[in-house]
Chain A
Amino acid sequence: MSVSNLLENWAQVRHEHPNNDKPHDPYKWAMAIDLDACTGCNACSIACYAENNIPVVGKERFQHGQQMHWMRVERYWDEDGREFPDQGFQFLPMMCQQCEAAPCETVCPVAATNHTADGLNSQIYNRCIGSRYCSANCPFKVRYFNWYDYPTDEMVWPAEMQQQMNPDVSVRSKGVMEKCTFCVQRLSAAKVKAKGEGRIVAEGEVQTACQQACPTSAISFGNLVNPDSRVHKQWAAQQVELDKDKQAKNEEEEASELRGYRILEELRAYPSVMYLERVRESAV
C-alpha cells in the first residue's frame, strides 16, 4: 500500500516489450498464417464462436457494426480497376495480433489489459471498466466491446443454447472489452498438465480452435521459443524476428523470395502473428 510498494509492483507489471532482460521463457505463443493456403471459408471464425462463447448479435446490431467476431476473415482484390477480379481474391483472417508492445496495454486506465509472461496480450474482464481506450488505440481494430448484455438476451442465448457454452471460458457481461485470447483456456490447461509432469508443453500438444478447424492447415500455432515448433521454424525460415520492426524481406535484396511479414509492422507493436504472402501465379 505504500508508495514504495506501488513502485515495486509497478516495475513488475510494466516493463518494456520486447525485452531481452525478461526473455520469454519457456513460452512465447505465436502464430503463422499462410495466406496462400487460406481459402476464406470461415471455418476458423465459426470454430472461434463455438470455443469462446462469442455472442451472435443479430442483424440489427451487425448493421450498427456491433458484431463480435474475434476472428474475421477479410477479403481483398486488386486496386487496378479491372473489369473482373480475374486474379482471384485474397483472404486474410484477422484477429488480435497479441502484440509484444501492444498499443492497447499502455492506454488502459485500469490496467485491465496486460502482457503475460508467455507473450499474450491478456484481457481481464473483471477489471475492465469499459473506457474502450484500448480499442481506440488498436491499429488492427480487433477488440470487441460488449455493447449489450448478451448472456441475458433471449435471442442471443436462449436457455437451450446456453448449454453449449464452454465452461472454461468466461461469459462476458455488458460493458467489457474482449478479443482473441489465442484460446488461453486451452493453453492454461496444457501448461498445467505439462507442469504436473515436470516438462514444458510439447509441439502439437495444444491447438487453438481456429487452427484445429482450418481445413487447409493455413494456421500454425505454437511456442516460438521452442526450436522444434513449426511456428519457430516458419518464423526462422522467413527470417522474421519478433523484436524487429523491419525484416530481412524489406531490407535485403536477396531476401525478396521470403513471404513472411507482419501487418503494420512499422508501428512497432511487434505482433506475434506472422502472415505468409499469397502467391500469385505468373504463368496464367
Chain B
Amino acid sequence: MIDSGSVKQMAGHPFDRRDFLKVLGWSGAAVALSGCGNTSVEDGRETVVSYVEANDYMVPGVGVYFNSTCAQCDAGCSINGRVREGRVLKLEGNPDSAINKGRLCGLGQAGVQHHYNPDRVREPLLRNGNKGEAISWEKAYALIAEKLAGVSGEEIAFLSGGVSGHLKVLLGNYLDSLGTKNHFVYEAIAPSVVRAANLKAFGVEMPRYRFDKAQVVLSFGADFLGSWVSPVHFSQQYAQFRKGVNGQRGVLIQVESKMTLTGANADRWLAVKPGTEGVLALGIINALGMATGEVAELVKGYDKARVSRETGVSTGQIDKIAALLKLRSPSLVLAGNAAEGYAHGSQNAAAINLLNQVLGNVGKTIEAPVSVPFPQMVPSKGNTVALKNMNDGLAAGKYKVVFNFAANPVFTAPGAFKFKDNFAKAGFKVAFAHYLDETALQADLVLPLDSALEDWGTQVPEYMTEGAQINIQQPLMERLHANTRGMGDILLGLIKQKKADEYKGFEDYYAYLRGAVLQNKGALGGGGVEDDTFWNDTLTQGIVKLAGTTTSLAAHASAAGLVLPAAAEADEHFPLHLIPGVTASLRDGRHTNQPWLQESPDPLTTIVWDSWVEIHPKKAAELGIVEGDIVQVTSKTGSVKAQVYLFPGIHPEAISIPVGRGHDAMGRYAKGYGVNPFQIMDAVFEAATGELAMHETRVKISKTGQRVLVVKDEGSAGALQMGRKIAGRVSTDQVDLSKEV
C-alpha cells in the first residue's frame, strides 16, 4: 500500500514541518495511547484532538510516508517510513535511492525497535555511587563545562563510531574549540586492512565493485551478502549477477575457514586452513599462468602441490578455478574479513588484489569510486587502531575528560586490552547513549539521545553507487520521551559554551542543518530555487544526489614487498583458531536489544537468542562432543562457556563464536543472552596497519559436562530433506536462464 501520492502531494507546498510534526505527533500520541489501552484520555488527563479541522494530508487511518536514512549500519540505505496517527509503524526502502533501491534488510527493518525500545535512556543521568541520578539538561551542560574548565586539549579524549555529514563537521568544530586532537574513531568490525591494501593497489580505499558485470566472483571471506560494506546494494547486484548476461549465470566461489552467509550461497565453498587465503590467491595466479615479470617470479614457488598442502584445497579444485577464471571474464576477486583478520592480513589482501590485477579486472568490475565534493562531510571511518591508541592513553591515565558516542568499547574491546579497567582511570566520563550499554554504565554522566527516527542529520555513505549522494535523516515522529536530545543539538549546546558568538544564529541543530544545506544550495543542485521550496524538496526526497567527484583508479598492485609467512606452527596449548562470527543482524552487538533480531534465526545454524560454538562434526567426534554440550573455550586472555553446535561449514582446525551477544547490560532483550567472544580475544595486531587481528586468537576447548537443548529453528532432520522434494535444485547445464521471465 505504497501511497506515494501523499508524499508527492506535499512536495512543493511550503509548510512548517516542525509544526506539522508537532501537531501530528501530539494528536497522534493521544490517539495512540487511547488505542493501546491507556485510558488517560478517558481520565481527562489528555485533550482529545479533533480531526475535524485537521490538515489535508492528515487522514485518520491512512499512512503517510516520509523519507529518511537508515541508521542501523553505515551503508546509508534510504528509508521510507510509514507514519500513521503520529506514530512510525514500519520502515521500507526508498525506491529512489541508488544504494538500496526500495529494499531493506532485516537489520534495517528492526530500526523501529531501536526507536520504541523500552530500555532507552530517558533522562540525563549523573553517577551517584552505583546509581544514575536523573538531572536536568542545564545541570548536565553546566557539569560538562565545569569539568572541562582548566583541562588542556591533551587531556580530553573523544571516542566515537564512524561519523559523517554535518555531525562530523560540528563534532570537529567542537573538538577544535576544546583544543583537542584526540578524536578516536572506532569501529569494532571494519574492513580497515582491506582499505589500506586497496589504497596501495588501486589508489583508493574502497573502489566500486560491479558484481553485476562479473561472470565469476571469487571472494576470500568477504561476506558481501551479509555484513560487508553495503550488503543490501551488493545483494541486488548479486541477483543480477546470478541472472547473468545472456543467460550465463555468474559463478560464486567463496574461500574462507568459517562459512558466512555469502559462503552459504556460493557455488563452491572452499574451507581453507585459517590464514592461508593469500597463499591460495598466489597459487591461483600461478595456475593461471597469465602473470609476467616480477609477479611470475613471485608466484613461481606457489605450485599446486605446495598450495594444496598449505591451504587444504585440492589441486584439482585449484585447476578448476583457474580454468574457470580464464574462461569467463571479467571476474571479481574480493578480500574480506577472513583474509584481513590475521597478523599478515595486509599481505593476504595484497595477494588477492594482485590476482584481480592479473585477471585484468581493474577498470572492469572494479571501478573508480565517487565522493561528495565536500571533504569535511566525507565519513571518518572507524578502525581498531584508534581503540588501541585510546586504550594506551587511558592506561597511562592521560585523560581527565572522556566522551563516548556511538561506540561500546567496554563490550567490543578485546579482553586483552582490559579496556574497562583502563576506562575507569579517566577522570570524568561522558557517554552519549540510547541505552545503558556496558560503556554507558561505566560513565559518570549519561546523556540520552534521540532515536534515529527522532533526530535530524545528514549522512554520507562510504560506499556509493551511481554518483554521489548525501542522505537526509529527519524525524519520522515526535520525540517518544520528552527529555532526550539529538546528538547535533547536544553538540551545538556544548559548542556554544565555547563559541557562543559564532553559533548564536542557530537556535537548534535543525536550524544549523537547514542553514548549512541552503548555504550550499547551488552545489547541491538547487540553484535558483526558493529556499523553502528547495529545503522541502530535499526533505521530501530524503536524498541529495550529486554529480560527485571521481577519484581515478590505478592498477599498481605489485609483487614488491609481498611476503606471505609460512603456515603458522600448531600451538599445542591452544590448538584451535577462534573465528569471531559476524552475523548480518547482530554485527558488533549494538542492536542486540532489538527483539526481532534476537528471534530471527541465524541463517546458517538457525539458532536464536543465544551464542554457540561452531565446530566441525569431525573435530567434535574426535573430542567426544555432541550438540548442546556446554564447553569452555579458553584463550591466553580468558575463557567463556557456551553451547556447541556441530556445523560442517567450518574448517576442523577452527571454531567460531558469533559476536554481538553476551551483553551484561543494554536492557531486557540483550542482557544475559549468550557470551561475548571479544572478552577472550588476544591483542594481536596486523603487522602493516596495526589493526587488531581478529582471527589470530588461539583457543582450546574442554567439556564442562553440562548439556543443554540448543534453541534453534531447524528440527531433528537438521538440514536434510529426507528424500522429499522441498528445496529443489537443477544443474546449470540443464537450464537456460535467458528464457526466463
The reply to whether B609 and A162 form a contact with Cβ atoms under 8 Å apart is no
Given A49-B596, A280-B730, A43 and B116 touching (CB < 8 A)? Answer: no
Min CB distance, A132 to chain B, in Å? Answer: 18
Contact of A87 among B267, B598, B734 (CB under 8 A): B267
A157-200 toward B: CB 8 Å interface, digit per residue (1/0)? Answer: 01111111111000000000000000001100110000000000
Interface membership of A246, Cβ < 8 A = no
The reply to whether B320 and A160 form a contact with Cβ atoms under 8 Å apart is no
B467-495 toward A: CB 8 Å interface, digit per residue (1/0)? Answer: 00000000000001000000000000000
CB neighbours (8 Å) of B264 from chain A are 39-40, 75, 85, 88-89, 91
Alpha-carbon distance between A85 and B614 when the two chains are bound, in angstroms:
14
The reply to whether A281 and B106 form a contact with Cβ atoms under 8 Å apart is no
Interface membership of A50, Cβ < 8 A = yes
Alpha-carbon distance between A36 and B734 when the two chains are bound, in angstroms:
14
CB neighbours (8 Å) of A160 from chain B are 116-118, 120, 480
The reply to whether B106 and A41 form a contact with Cβ atoms under 8 Å apart is yes
Q: Which of B328-352 contact A (CB under 8 A)?
A: none
Min CB distance, A231 to chain B, in Å? Answer: 9
The reply to whether A41 and B603 form a contact with Cβ atoms under 8 Å apart is yes
The reply to whether A46 and B597 form a contact with Cβ atoms under 8 Å apart is yes
The reply to whether A39 and B599 form a contact with Cβ atoms under 8 Å apart is no
Given A41-B226, A57-B599, A87-B268, A35 and B727 touching (CB < 8 A)? Answer: yes
Interface membership of A86, Cβ < 8 A = yes
The reply to whether B733 and A282 form a contact with Cβ atoms under 8 Å apart is yes
Interface membership of A22, Cβ < 8 A = no
Contact of B719 among A76, A166, A214, A263 (CB under 8 A): A76
Interface membership of A95, Cβ < 8 A = no
The reply to whether A88 and B266 form a contact with Cβ atoms under 8 Å apart is yes
Interface membership of A221, Cβ < 8 A = no
Given A46-B597, A164-B112, A280-B732, A237 and B740 touching (CB < 8 A)? Answer: yes
Interface membership of B269, Cβ < 8 A = yes
The reply to whether B740 and A278 form a contact with Cβ atoms under 8 Å apart is no
Contact of A284 among B88, B89, B267 (CB under 8 A): B267
Interface membership of B45, Cβ < 8 A = no
Size category of the binding interface on chain B: 35 or more
Alpha-carbon distance between A75 and B601 when the two chains are bound, in angstroms:
11
B91-128 toward A: CB 8 Å interface, digit per residue (1/0)? Answer: 11100000010111110111011011110100000000
B577-616 toward A: CB 8 Å interface, digit per residue (1/0)? Answer: 0000000110000000001111111011010111000000
- B721: nearest chain-A partner, CB-CB: A76
CB neighbours (8 Å) of B595 from chain A are 56
Min CB distance, B669 to chain A, in Å? Answer: 8
Min CB distance, A234 to chain B, in Å? Answer: 5
Min CB distance, B173 to chain A, in Å? Answer: 34
Min CB distance, A268 to chain B, in Å? Answer: 15
The reply to whether B600 and A90 form a contact with Cβ atoms under 8 Å apart is no
CB neighbours (8 Å) of A51 from chain B are 90
Interface membership of A107, Cβ < 8 A = no
The reply to whether B61 and A284 form a contact with Cβ atoms under 8 Å apart is no
CB neighbours (8 Å) of A41 from chain B are 105-106, 225-226, 231, 235, 261, 584, 603
Given A56-B596, A164-B116, A237 and B739 touching (CB < 8 A)? Answer: yes
Interface membership of A47, Cβ < 8 A = yes
The reply to whether B109 and A279 form a contact with Cβ atoms under 8 Å apart is no
The reply to whether B711 and A280 form a contact with Cβ atoms under 8 Å apart is no
B625-668 toward A: CB 8 Å interface, digit per residue (1/0)? Answer: 00000000000000000000000110000000000000000001
Q: Which of A221-276 contact B (CB under 8 A)?
A: 230, 233-234, 237-238, 256-259, 261, 263-264, 275-276
CB neighbours (8 Å) of A63 from chain B are 709, 711
Interface membership of B236, Cβ < 8 A = yes
- A204: nearest chain-B partner, CB-CB: B2
Interface membership of A135, Cβ < 8 A = no
The reply to whether B649 and A233 form a contact with Cβ atoms under 8 Å apart is no
Alpha-carbon distance between A56 and B236 when the two chains are bound, in angstroms:
29
CB neighbours (8 Å) of B608 from chain A are 59, 62, 67
CB neighbours (8 Å) of B668 from chain A are 155
Contact of B236 among A85, A216, A278 (CB under 8 A): A216
CB neighbours (8 Å) of B190 from chain A are none
- B734: nearest chain-A partner, CB-CB: A257
Interface membership of A122, Cβ < 8 A = no
CB neighbours (8 Å) of A86 from chain B are 268-271
Min CB distance, A241 to chain B, in Å? Answer: 16
The reply to whether B604 and A89 form a contact with Cβ atoms under 8 Å apart is yes
The reply to whether B103 and A46 form a contact with Cβ atoms under 8 Å apart is no
The reply to whether B719 and A75 form a contact with Cβ atoms under 8 Å apart is yes
Contact of A215 among B35, B232, B480 (CB under 8 A): B232
CB neighbours (8 Å) of A206 from chain B are 1
Interface membership of B618, Cβ < 8 A = yes
In this complex, how many residues of chain A approach chain B with their Cβ under 8 Å: the count is: 86
- B86: nearest chain-A partner, CB-CB: A163
Given A43-B106, A79-B720, A282 and B235 touching (CB < 8 A)? Answer: no
CB neighbours (8 Å) of A230 from chain B are 741
Interface membership of B131, Cβ < 8 A = no
Interface membership of B504, Cβ < 8 A = no
Min CB distance, B706 to chain A, in Å? Answer: 16
Interface membership of B36, Cβ < 8 A = yes
Interface membership of B726, Cβ < 8 A = yes
Interface membership of A106, Cβ < 8 A = no
The reply to whether B265 and A259 form a contact with Cβ atoms under 8 Å apart is no
Interface membership of B32, Cβ < 8 A = yes
The reply to whether A279 and B597 form a contact with Cβ atoms under 8 Å apart is no
The reply to whether A259 and B740 form a contact with Cβ atoms under 8 Å apart is yes
Given A40-B265, A57-B599, A160-B118, A46 and B1 touching (CB < 8 A)? Answer: no
The reply to whether B649 and A277 form a contact with Cβ atoms under 8 Å apart is no
Interface membership of B189, Cβ < 8 A = no
Contact of B724 among A213, A233, A258, A264 (CB under 8 A): A264
Min CB distance, B170 to chain A, in Å? Answer: 29
Min CB distance, B449 to chain A, in Å? Answer: 16
Interface membership of B432, Cβ < 8 A = no
Given A164-B89, A164-B116, A284-B251, A216 and B735 touching (CB < 8 A)? Answer: no
Knowing that A41-B226, A215-B104 touch, tell me 14 more A-B residue pairs with CB under 8 angstroms: A43-B105, A56-B595, A69-B599, A83-B618, A87-B269, A167-B84, A212-B102, A213-B105, A214-B103, A234-B741, A256-B734, A279-B731, A281-B267, A284-B268
Top 5 A-B pairs ranked by shortest CB distance? A215-B235, A281-B267, A46-B106, A59-B609, A216-B239
> Can you name 27 A-B pairs with beta carbons within 8 Å?
A36-B242, A39-B261, A41-B225, A42-B603, A46-B106, A46-B600, A47-B106, A49-B599, A56-B598, A58-B609, A59-B610, A75-B604, A77-B719, A88-B268, A161-B118, A164-B113, A212-B103, A213-B109, A215-B105, A233-B741, A276-B740, A279-B732, A280-B267, A281-B251, A283-B320, A284-B251, A284-B267
Q: Which residues of B contact A (CB under 8 A)?
A: 1-2, 32, 35-36, 38, 61, 84-85, 87-93, 100, 102-106, 108-110, 112-113, 115-118, 120, 225-226, 231-232, 235-236, 238-239, 242, 249, 251, 253, 259, 261-271, 317, 320-321, 324, 480, 584-585, 595-601, 603-604, 606, 608-610, 618, 648-649, 668, 673, 709, 711, 713-714, 719-721, 723-737, 739-741
Q: Which residues of A contact B (CB under 8 A)?
A: 35-37, 39-43, 45-47, 49-51, 56-59, 62-63, 67, 69, 72-77, 79, 83-92, 155, 158-167, 185-186, 189-190, 206-207, 209, 212-218, 230, 233-234, 237-238, 256-259, 261, 263-264, 275-284
